[in-house]
Amino acid sequence: DTGEALLKVSNIEVIYNSVILVLKGVSLAVPKGGITALLGGNGAGKTTTLKSISNLLRSERGEVTKGQIMYRGEQIYGLSPSELVKRGVVQVMEGRHCFEHLTVEENLLTGSYTRGASRGEIDADLNMVYDYFPRLKERRRSQAGYTSGGEQQMVAIGRALMARPEMILLDEPSMGLAPQLVEQIFEIVKSLNENEGLTFLLAEQNTNVALRYSHYGYILESGRVVMDGPAKDLRENPDVKEFYLGMS
């Protein structure tokens, strides 16, 4: 489904520390109900793009100095994380960021906090998360810091789901995970997209897996979009094959 754009980023520039220009006019559109991939190598600007959308740049002395970020046709730049959650936008940060001293279930519960949901709704959401991640149900009483990297990635996504989002910004879900686990995580993303209608914008260095699971892709290089298109076209593109899929 490639309905209207839920999120539209137009020509944004981002500067760190008032001097370092990192995004040099990035534009992208994320259709409702789609999985959109933001691709590119280390330092291309993927994380910066996601953080521009979710307003997480300030703590890193970064600032959007130009351009527009529209969600459902409304400017969202500068909204607090809790305001964004209320509108349906949640980010899963790179490196997973669990609360290590809390249990898996307590971590998940922190995700429903901004929603002001009733106990019944929260229980229903927990069960939904456990349906998608049976492993988390088995581990629910374990301290998150002692779970594996794959489980922590599941906790991070599960916690985002507890906010009942419409769109998830997912930063580098494959990072540090064995290939089999990467596949498992992407399968779950795919079923969340298909069954719950969740929209994803995901940043990935793993071009191969990202293009197999997404509908559309943008390739960033040094803070610019150098190529974009339907995932299946990008997979067949000779330049993408040579430079990003390691086949030539």
Interacting residues with ligand ATP (CB under 6 A) = 16-17, 20, 22, 40, 42-48, 60, 62, 172, 203, 205
Residue closer to ligand ATP (CB basis): 132 or 186: 186
Q: What is the 3-state secondary structure (H, E, C) of 135-199?
A: HHHHCCCCEHHHCCHHHHHHHHHHHHHCCCCCEEEEECCCCCCCHHHHHHHHHHHHHHHHHHCCE
Nearer CB in complex with ligand ATP: 63/106: 63
Element (H, E) at 224: strand 224-230
Please report how close the Cβ of residue 133 comes to ligand ATP at its closest, in angstroms.
25
CB of 13 to ligand ATP, least distance (A): 12
Least spacing, CB of residue 9 vs ligand ATP, in Å: 14
129 or 219: CB nearest ligand ATP: 219
Closest CB to ligand ATP among 20 and 178?
A: 20
At residue 177, what is the residue type? L
> Smallest distance, Å, CB 169 to ligand ATP?
12
Q: How many CA atoms lie within 13 A of 127 on its CB side?
A: 6
Q: How far is the CB of 192 from ligand ATP (least distance, A)?
A: 23
Nearer to ligand ATP, 183 or 221 (CB): 221
Q: Which residues contact 235 (CB under 8 A, 6 or more apart)?
A: 211, 212, 241, 245
Q: Please, are residues 57 and 14 in contact by the beta-carbon 8 Å criterion?
A: yes
